[in-house]
Structure 1
Amino acid sequence: MTKDKFTVDKNEIKQNIYDAVNGAWIKQATIPGDHSSVGGFMDLVDGIDKTLMHDSAALADGSLPAKTPELKEYAKFYKMAEDYARRDADGATPLLPVIDRINNLANYQALNDQLPDWILSGLPTPFSLGIDPDMKNAKLNALFAESPSLFMPDKTYYEDGNPAYAQLMPIFTDMNVKLLEMIGYNHAEAVETVEKAKAFDKLIVPNVKSAEESADYSKMYNPQTTDELASSTTALNLKAAINQLVGEVPNTVIVTEPKYFEHLEELLTPQNFDLMKAWMIVKTVSGYSSLLSEEFRQVGGIYSRALSGKKEATNPTKAAYYLASGTFDQVVGDYYGHKYFGEKAKADVHHMVENMIAVYKNRLENNDWLSPETKQMAVKKLTSLGIQVGYPDEVDPLYSKFHVDEKLSLLNNARNFGKIATQDSFAKWNQPVERERWEMSASTVNAYYHPFKNIIVFPAAILQAPFYSLEQSSSENYGGVGAVIAHEISHAFDNNGSLFDEFGNLNNWWTKADHEHFQKLADQMIAEFNGIPFAGSKVNGKLTVSENIADAGGLSCAEAAAKNEDDVDLAAFFINWSRIWRMKATPEYQQLLLSIDVHAPAPLRASVQVKNLDDFYTTFDVTEQDEMYLAPEKRVKIW
């Protein structure tokens, strides 16, 4: 078993496995002031942060040699980020030219004249353009058009009677008034500007999607011609801007939120121009505050800390590391992967992924509700699944273009890097999709499935105890990283992933009867979680359904793999599954996650899914008299 000072009473598991495994830990665990949570995932993050902060400092002072040009530039940028004396001396000065650029806009035409460079420079616009694989032709990159983000985390916060808005908006307001005063606005000007920005934000709200609506990938694909998109507003020439950004006028733009663009003309009126300018200023000042002085960083984080329940700001040294490593994320990830993970572990986990795919394939081939036609396509998709483990074979060439200019401020260097990255992204329009390109740093404690590419990615950072260790039994490893691996595989067959074929194309490969049966099972999963009380609110089953389907499939297939091993110990398997989800979080953070996170709360991921597996009942002798009992006809079994 995993070495853990907390013992597990198997009788208590019958009442609540999460509490039985993690209750003693939760009682003694404390949330640091600069954290919103602690637990399985966060503990790994903290360990990696400590390691990489130490190494970053050594790289910056030269005691640790930077062996690649990209790592040398990272060291320079980290050193610049940590130079708070210079940042404090500069104060607001680096930001003022950017604010002047916004203030100098006299009308929409003035914005229109510089719109392409405005977008490349990362300045706020009342729409968003980006590049991603075409959902109907996943071998080529397409242009996507989306709505801008709101001041609140989700449109549901703006609903009448939502107490979160009444609590949070005054904090948002006060913070931004203070920030504007710090760049030279008098109090009355600052208040007026923030109120105008909030008024523009509220005009955006009715026509954007909620988190629940955005969770349905099938509603993302709304292709329009560039002319059709451009006709959504007469205030700005979107066609000309797109032409300059990608080099020609695309035949198709994929609009993820058509309702927003249908109402864009109503938003971009002459009467709303000053509101939009104020909105741009507020977004810019708050967005860049972390790149300025320590006072700006402290003040600029007040709202996000209120959202998450953090009691204090991240300390300056860690903040400098986060800023620099976030900018050079793939460079830092490559360094971490090679130094702390290595080729041997990479090969070992890759083999484990292949084993899990084999288990999943067997499950599909022996599925008793899929038709032969659908089953054949499902296996074909599984066989085509791309696997990325540990760290990429090479660092993205983008980072070779990042060169720190020590004469410039931290903010201006960051803005230059942002512009280079945005130009690089737009240059990929209509080019072949780079399926092997990593989109997550190897030092990130996470994993993902990309439906447009049909790939699963497991960064090195998550491949540690309690998820994975050579010191753990095979059953513990399958209850940890095995279930995570199978979870990501399952995303290829959840309510969203199942809409995409083996190439990542949005393509219905199901028979009508099979899809109807699958939808009934998905509805059962929605019902299983929907309305469960948690943190003073309730779980949204529709918002979390795709992740819950993936959890169910992952846990079921990982258990099957564990049972294939000679040293199988299902008690250890279920206990470690519950252990990896241990989490203690602030009430504010729990409320935030309930509103916007597509994952169910961690304690419920641990305790609800096991009820669907028959072996859980026999392993711990769970009967109808126990709280963990779920009648066989109510157990949701999809994969």
Structure 2
Amino acid sequence: MNIRQGGISLKKLIVKATEAEDGDANQPTNDSIDKSLLKDDLYQAVNGRWEKTAKIPADHSSTGGFMDLNDNIDKELMHDLDDLKAKNKDSFEAPFSEMLKLYELAQNFKKRDADGADPLKPYLEKIENISNFADLNGQLADWVKTGFPLPFGFFVEPDMKNTQVNALFANSPSLFLPDRTYYENNNPAYNQLMPVLTKTLSQLLVLADYSSNEADEIVESAKKFDAAIAPHVKSAEESADYSKMYNPQKFSEFAKSSSHFDLTKLADGLFGKTPEQIIVTEPKYFEALDEIVNEDSFQDMKNWMLVGTIYSATGYLSEEFRQTGSTFSRALSGKKEATPQKKSAFYLATGTFGQTIGDYYAKKYFGPKAKADVEHMVRNMISVYKNRLQNNTWLGEDTRKKAIVKLDKLGLHVGYPDHIDQLEYKYKITPENEGGNLFNNMTRIGQVALADNYAKLGQPVDRTKWEMSASTVNAYYDPFKNLIVFPAAILQAPFYSLDQTSSQNYGGIGAVMAHEISHAFDNNGSLFDEMGNLNNWWTKEDHEYFTKLADKMIKEFDGIPFAGGKVNGKLTVSENIADAGGLSCANEAAKNEQDYNLYDFFINWAKVWRMKATTQYKQLLLNIDVHAPAELRANVQVKNLDDFYSTFEVKSGDGMYLKPEDRVKIW
């Protein structure tokens, strides 16, 4: 649950603020407001002049807002790491020293180009040498530990009904295209994108020394297997309902899902013994597993594995592999160019050592004065929320009391964690002068991470662990820990600055804070109690009333035209409820300050959602993102607040006017 645009393991279900990519901070600074538009289109009034002159960098699909801030941080950190990597790597403590080694290794494209496909070939040969299910079952545990793809996966995360302990989950594989809906109803996006992906995959196989004919045959076979998977997995809209993920089964029953995979033997090999229970995130998929995976489809599955292995490795191989491998994602998002080599190396190293780089960034660039001020703001937001719950008129007394208990138990992390995740201390990089190459190092890191995850089965959950680097411009609510987290990187202008007015800060970071708090009480978060357990603490009557309010939010957004498509109100309802609650509570908090200025508040709210994106990227987000488009987040939510109308003198007939009876007010 997050504040940025975007989109299974449960880690993907922490509710962040948005899910957009990096942008280029070297943009025109035309921040002048077109006051003539304020009553008709707040977003365009604040951002329209900027949008006319802003340019989307060739290696990006969007720019503005979150993305520009991320790009500024990237530049700062790349400059710092370039200075530091010139020094003796071993003079730094681990894991920072290992991150510098990986950064240097990833930048050595001369070595990567010379190696070509050689590091990958032993893995491809292993797949090719599997001739039947008996062969595969004989080495299935080692296969999983090594990181080979399979048409199912295991992961360990907190048990959704007992979040103090880690449990075993089973999930389905990813599809070639972003969502199941691409495969349905003659979706024109399928006919646009699948040929691009087909060509990309064939070219990658040729780079791995398959003949052109072999490559084409393998890809068509792999696509056939992908098409067999598609009807049985959840769409993005279906996945947005977290409670439907919780489907516990006895492992002995789950093992019957496949007549061809020995799932009991696999579990014994991975965990030392067969677990008693497994939580199945997509039961319909596993009910169809025998239909998808059988003797008739074995060769298609093998080719699907080959294709998946090559495609996932492209970022660790030569420049030709990297450029070719990014072709499909660029077509999907509208990027004109691949990420530059040096930046791609930076992303690879810091993405692997996320907590390490976050710790460095926060300690260097984030001050204690800002931390104290931000914590004060969060406490103010929680106080506003508590007052609203105490005076709520539609919740029954029992539900209201339990809601307040949940709010009182809400955890808060600001800036950076107390310690770097121990997993990153386990990553050891073999440098080039000791025979290391990038592909083998990254493969080994993946194996270490997987082993670390599996070792947590049955162990207590580390409730202090951050799921996001402190250097990420974002924030999140974790429903399984009842915890809100604000990394250091988001605590800068326009979201927050000691130089901004309090109203500007409440319109930025204040609304983000309250957005994350609101996730504790959205249509998903409301299903979890104060400890993060899936536990219905609502009376039937209260939940039915809440559902009616949520339906009003669905209706408010559903079907709004955007980027040649329409907003899916059901897909975006959780984030829209959080935006509504966040903006409303931040508005009240701003009014509690002596220097409040609601004009500043609403203007900065619109400014933080500034975004210029390619049409392809907008369409992608429209299909898979649980957030409404940024422009609509800025415009639609303010229409629900009475103070917006008085601040800008908006009346019936103005573009920003919404009838009082149509204004959605939940929290």
TM-score, normalization: structure 2? 0.94
- The reply on whether 1:189 has 2:189 as its aligned counterpart is no
Shift in Å, 1:10 = 3.4
1:230 counterpart residue number: 255
Q: How does 1:508-523 map onto structure 2 within 5 Å?
A: 508-523=536-551
**Corresponding residue to 2:584 among 539, 543, 556:** 556
What is the DSSP-based 3-state SS (H/G/I as helix, E as strand, rest coil) of the residue aligned with 1:93? coil
2:340 counterpart residue number: 315
What is the DSSP-based 3-state SS (H/G/I as helix, E as strand, rest coil) of the residue aligned with 2:639? helix
1:588 counterpart residue number: 616
Shift in Å, 1:625 = 2.0
What is the DSSP-based 3-state SS (H/G/I as helix, E as strand, rest coil) of the residue aligned with 1:483? helix
**Corresponding residue to 2:329 among 304, 307, 312:** 304
- The reply on whether 1:460 has 2:488 as its aligned counterpart is yes
1:70 counterpart residue number: 95
- Name the CA distance, whole Å, in 2 between partners of 1:327 and 1:568: 43
**Corresponding residue to 2:568 among 531, 536, 540:** 540
Contact 2:39–2:648 under 8 Å retained in 1: yes
- Name the CA distance, whole Å, in 1 between partners of 2:516 and 2:604: 18
Classify 1:485/1:416 alpha carbon distance in 2 versus 1 (closer, same or farther; 3 Å).
Answer: same
Structure 1 segments of 4+ aligned residues over 3 angstroms from their partners:
63-67
The percent identity for this pair of structures is 61
Shift in Å, 1:7 = 2.2
- The reply on whether 1:153 has 2:181 as its aligned counterpart is no
Contact 1:59–1:65 under 8 Å retained in 2: no
2:104 counterpart residue number: 79
- The reply on whether 1:55 has 2:83 as its aligned counterpart is no
Paired residues, number: 637
Q: Which runs of 5+ in 1 are unaligned?
A: none
Letter of the 1:350 partner, please give it: E
1:244 counterpart residue number: 269
Classify 1:66/1:476 alpha carbon distance in 2 versus 1 (closer, same or farther; 3 Å).
Answer: farther
Q: How does 1:406-421 map onto structure 2 within 5 Å?
A: 406=431, 407-421=435-449
Classify 1:342/1:116 alpha carbon distance in 2 versus 1 (closer, same or farther; 3 Å).
Answer: farther
Question: Cα RMSD over matched residues?
Answer: 1.3
Letter of the 2:149 partner, please give it: P
What is the DSSP-based 3-state SS (H/G/I as helix, E as strand, rest coil) of the residue aligned with 1:543? coil
Name the stretch that deviates more: 63-72 or 412-421.
63-72
Contact 1:10–1:620 under 8 Å retained in 2: no
**Corresponding residue to 1:385 among 395, 402, 410:** 410
2:50 counterpart residue number: 25
- The reply on whether 1:423 has 2:474 as its aligned counterpart is no
Q: Which runs of 5+ in 2 are unaligned?
A: 1-27
- Name the CA distance, whole Å, in 2 between partners of 1:413 and 1:255: 32
- Name the CA distance, whole Å, in 2 between partners of 1:232 and 1:242: 14
What is the DSSP-based 3-state SS (H/G/I as helix, E as strand, rest coil) of the residue aligned with 1:254? strand
What is the DSSP-based 3-state SS (H/G/I as helix, E as strand, rest coil) of the residue aligned with 1:130? strand
TM-score, normalization: structure 1? 0.98
- Name the CA distance, whole Å, in 2 between partners of 1:137 and 1:63: 46
2:12 counterpart residue number: none
Letter of the 1:287 partner, please give it: S
What is the DSSP-based 3-state SS (H/G/I as helix, E as strand, rest coil) of the residue aligned with 2:234? coil
Shift in Å, 1:131 = 1.1
What is the DSSP-based 3-state SS (H/G/I as helix, E as strand, rest coil) of the residue aligned with 1:541? coil
- Name the CA distance, whole Å, in 1 between partners of 2:143 and 2:368: 43
**Corresponding residue to 1:401 among 411, 416, 426:** 426
**Corresponding residue to 1:344 among 369, 375, 384:** 369
**Corresponding residue to 2:124 among 99, 106, 126:** 99
Q: Deviations over 1:248-292 (max 9, x none)?
A: 322211101000000101111111010000000101101101100
Letter of the 2:623 partner, please give it: S
1:446 counterpart residue number: 474
Letter of the 1:88 partner, please give it: D
- Name the CA distance, whole Å, in 2 between partners of 1:60 and 1:175: 35
Letter of the 2:178 partner, please give it: P
Classify 1:589/1:244 alpha carbon distance in 2 versus 1 (closer, same or farther; 3 Å).
Answer: same
**Corresponding residue to 1:38 among 50, 63, 83:** 63
Shift in Å, 1:4 = 6.2
- Name the CA distance, whole Å, in 2 between partners of 1:510 and 1:411: 51
Shift in Å, 1:243 = 2.5
1:507 counterpart residue number: 535
- Name the CA distance, whole Å, in 1 between partners of 2:253 and 2:220: 33
- Name the CA distance, whole Å, in 1 between partners of 2:559 and 2:566: 5
Shift in Å, 1:12 = 1.4
1:619 counterpart residue number: 647
